[in-house]
Chains A and B, each alone.
Chain A
Amino acid sequence: MTVAEGEAAREGADSEGDMTGTVDGRSADGYVPSERRRARERHQRARARRATAVAALSTLVTAVVLYLVVVEAPGWPRTKETFFSADYAREALPKVLEGLWLNVRLLAVCGVAVLVLGMLIAIARTLRGPVFFPLRVLAAAYTDFFRGLPLIINLMIVVLGVPALRLQGVTVDPVLLGGTALTLTYSAYVAEVFRAGIESIHPSQRAAARSLGLTNRQALRYVVLPQAVRRQVPPLLNDLVSLQKDTGLVSIGGAVDAVRAADIIVGRSLNYTPYIVAGLVFVALTIPMTRFTDWLTARMDRQRAQGGAL
């Protein structure tokens, strides 16, 4: 494909974005790329090829070195048998996946609950006006307490302590109680992420919104939060991935999640392969989520950015 064709195709594809100065589009422009441009693009392509080659070579070298270090290790044959046994992996995978379904469901429910609760707490902390003083104090106390309280202790209190009260009408289901404990702790983390995001928006934005006559709440809803959310996506994803892994802790109440399923097989066979399987399954679950948010934020940036070569 020649440069001229590629250029024409690219510009034809989004020619609806025309603005001033191109009254009859670029076809009437009669533009032919100069030799200078072709030479520049040849150089850039050559540089890209060279970069790809260097990347491939260095990746290969790294892989070979890692492989040799691991395989040449004195304990490798024994390690391979106890951690990377294909037989045990085949046996563990269905059980682990069955357990993973519990993790996924917990993540979905707790994730939504955490986002909603965290946002409410963050907003409560940023509210102004003397009326809201008790709410502000409450929200601050909540985040202070649940951020400081170790998750495992929180879980034990909720999962083991609540049923011990034998209250009428209160569930004793370890999954529900565990989910509640997770939500309590993670809401505190997420609330701080939201609050940091809200406060990172330059005060001039709030000033502009308020001068348009928007109330404090409207300014937050229509101007501050939409900008804050973009900055909050990476740390929120961090907390979400962390939550996903911690959903496994509900197993202390007796529920069987992916890690617990692996645990059961390990306890029986004394082969650690199921742990490896469970670990890889969690990683596999995280990667699409990360790629999706990367794509989402990149798209948001493209729509807004001034553009430029930097």
Chain B
Amino acid sequence: MSATDAPVLRMESVRKTFGGSVVLRDVDLEVAPHTVTALIGASGSGKSTLLRCANLLEEIDDGAIWLDGEEITDPRADQDAVRRRIGVVFQAYNLFPHMTVLDNITLAPRRVHGATRAEAEEHARGLLGRLGLAAKAHAYPDRLSGGQQQRVAIVRALAVRPRLLLLDEVTAALDPELVGEVLEVVRDLKDDGMTMVLATHEMGFARDVADQVCFLDGGVVLERGTAEQVFGDPQQERTRRFLRRIVEAGRL
């Protein structure tokens, strides 16, 4: 039992600086399998950097990060092997504009994981169908709406059957109608048991879907707990102020 409950992702006193500014300070995090962790906080509080560090897109200054018990910040670790097990969805989609939707999705399964074209495309079409994009398989990304592009980006991340999915403010660039469309996909993934860490400004969504909520402020995890704890009974004055502003803005 304890083996299956071991955290998928664990961070211990992670520190990250850019030039002279400390972006993450003493960040600890544990993400249990099949749970969703929401990172909330103002812009510039370090949410995106934390996700980038988890995927080794940023080198951390101090501390350590484990994926399934293996230290991935060890200089001897194979970074490509680590990234193969983590899916990332970016705020700006980052689809490859010179490839069709299907090629975007099958690139990694075919070139990295050695799937045949037929296997990869069948899997991709299945995922696209589930997300209502079956008709767009041969379209180019620039021809799609923002919500469609973001769903394709999610499919691309899922196509390699990752152990962990990182979502970096995936709805920030979308209008409310499309936000719902993308969040519905994330909710379905949670029901499928996908382990996810998401940075988000959608507080209502974070409250509904997250098993664990972390409030970041100035690179520090100021408050963490279940959604009820953080949204219902925040302990820190800073958290209360942040949530009050969100409520005033009508976002919760």
A binding-site residues for B, Cβ under 8 Å: 11-23, 25-26, 29, 31, 33-34, 36-37, 40, 43-44, 47, 202-204, 307-310
B binding-site residues for A, Cβ under 8 Å: 13, 15, 17-23, 25, 44-46, 52, 56-59, 61-64, 73-76, 97, 142, 217-220
* A interface secondary structure, majority: loop
Report the separation of the CA atoms of residues A136 and B97 in the bound assembly, to the nearest whole angstrom.
28
Interchain CB contact under 8 A, B58 and A22: no
Interchain CB contact under 8 A, B219 and A21: yes
**Residues of the A chain whose Cβ atoms lie less than 8 Å from the Cβ of B52:** 308
Q: How far is the CB of A142 from chain B (nearest CB, A)?
A: 30
**Residues of the B chain whose Cβ atoms lie less than 8 Å from the Cβ of A25:** 20
Q: How far is the CB of B161 from chain A (nearest CB, A)?
A: 23
Interchain CB contact under 8 A, A202 and B20: no
18 cross-chain CB contacts under 8 A:
A14-B19, A17-B19, A17-B20, A20-B44, A21-B21, A21-B23, A21-B25, A21-B220, A22-B21, A31-B22, A33-B62, A34-B63, A43-B75, A47-B75, A308-B52, A308-B58, A309-B58, A309-B59
Q: How far is the CB of A216 from chain B (nearest CB, A)?
A: 21
**Residues of the B chain whose Cβ atoms lie less than 8 Å from the Cβ of A37:** 61-63
Q: How far is the CB of A203 from chain B (nearest CB, A)?
A: 8
Interchain CB contact under 8 A, B22 and A22: yes
Interchain CB contact under 8 A, A11 and B20: yes
- Whether A309 contacts B44 in the complex (CB less than 8 A), given A26-B20, A47-B75, comes out as no
Interchain CB contact under 8 A, B57 and A310: yes
In-complex Cβ contact of A22 among B13, B20, B56, B75 (8 A): B20
The list of the 6 closest CB pairs from A to B, nearest first, reads A21-B218, A15-B20, A17-B19, A37-B62, A309-B59, A21-B219
Q: Which of B21, B25, B57, B219 counts the most A-chain CB atoms under 10 A from its CB?
A: B21
Q: How far is the CB of A51 from chain B (nearest CB, A)?
A: 13
Q: Which residue of chain B lies nearest to A21 when distances are taken between CB atoms in the complex?
A: B218
**Residues of the A chain whose Cβ atoms lie less than 8 Å from the Cβ of B142:** 203-204
**Residues of the A chain whose Cβ atoms lie less than 8 Å from the Cβ of B46:** 21
**Residues of the B chain whose Cβ atoms lie less than 8 Å from the Cβ of A44:** 75
Interchain CB contact under 8 A, A19 and B21: yes
Q: How far is the CB of A3 from chain B (nearest CB, A)?
A: 10
Interchain CB contact under 8 A, B97 and A202: yes
**Residues of the A chain whose Cβ atoms lie less than 8 Å from the Cβ of B220:** 21
Q: How far is the CB of B41 from chain A (nearest CB, A)?
A: 11
Report the separation of the CA atoms of residues A18 and B17 in the bound assembly, to the nearest whole angstrom.
10
**Residues of the B chain whose Cβ atoms lie less than 8 Å from the Cβ of A47:** 75
Interchain CB contact under 8 A, A34 and B76: no
Q: Which of B13, B19, B76, B219 counts the most A-chain CB atoms under 10 A from its CB?
A: B19
Interchain CB contact under 8 A, A307 and B63: no
**Residues of the A chain whose Cβ atoms lie less than 8 Å from the Cβ of B17:** 11, 26
Q: Which residue of chain A lies nearest to B71 when distances are taken between CB atoms in the complex?
A: A36
**Residues of the A chain whose Cβ atoms lie less than 8 Å from the Cβ of B23:** 21
**Residues of the A chain whose Cβ atoms lie less than 8 Å from the Cβ of B44:** 19-21
Report the separation of the CA atoms of residues A19 and B19 in the bound assembly, to the nearest whole angstrom.
10
Q: Which of B18, B45, B62, B220 counts the most A-chain CB atoms under 10 A from its CB?
A: B62
Report the separation of the CA atoms of residues A29 and B15 in the bound assembly, to the nearest whole angstrom.
12
**Residues of the A chain whose Cβ atoms lie less than 8 Å from the Cβ of B21:** 17-22
Interchain CB contact under 8 A, B57 and A309: yes
Report the separation of the CA atoms of residues A13 and B60 in the bound assembly, to the nearest whole angstrom.
20
- Whether A21 contacts B18 in the complex (CB less than 8 A), given A37-B61, A47-B75, A308-B57, comes out as no
In-complex Cβ contact of A36 among B22, B62, B97 (8 A): B62
**Residues of the A chain whose Cβ atoms lie less than 8 Å from the Cβ of B19:** 11, 14, 17
**Residues of the A chain whose Cβ atoms lie less than 8 Å from the Cβ of B64:** 36
Q: Which residue of chain B lies nearest to A203 when distances are taken between CB atoms in the complex?
A: B142
Report the separation of the CA atoms of residues A20 and B52 in the bound assembly, to the nearest whole angstrom.
19
**Residues of the B chain whose Cβ atoms lie less than 8 Å from the Cβ of A13:** 20
Q: How far is the CB of A305 from chain B (nearest CB, A)?
A: 12
Interchain CB contact under 8 A, B75 and A29: no
Q: How far is the CB of B79 from chain A (nearest CB, A)?
A: 8
Q: Which residue of chain A lies nearest to B17 when distances are taken between CB atoms in the complex?
A: A11
Q: Which residue of chain A lies nearest to B61 when distances are taken between CB atoms in the complex?
A: A37
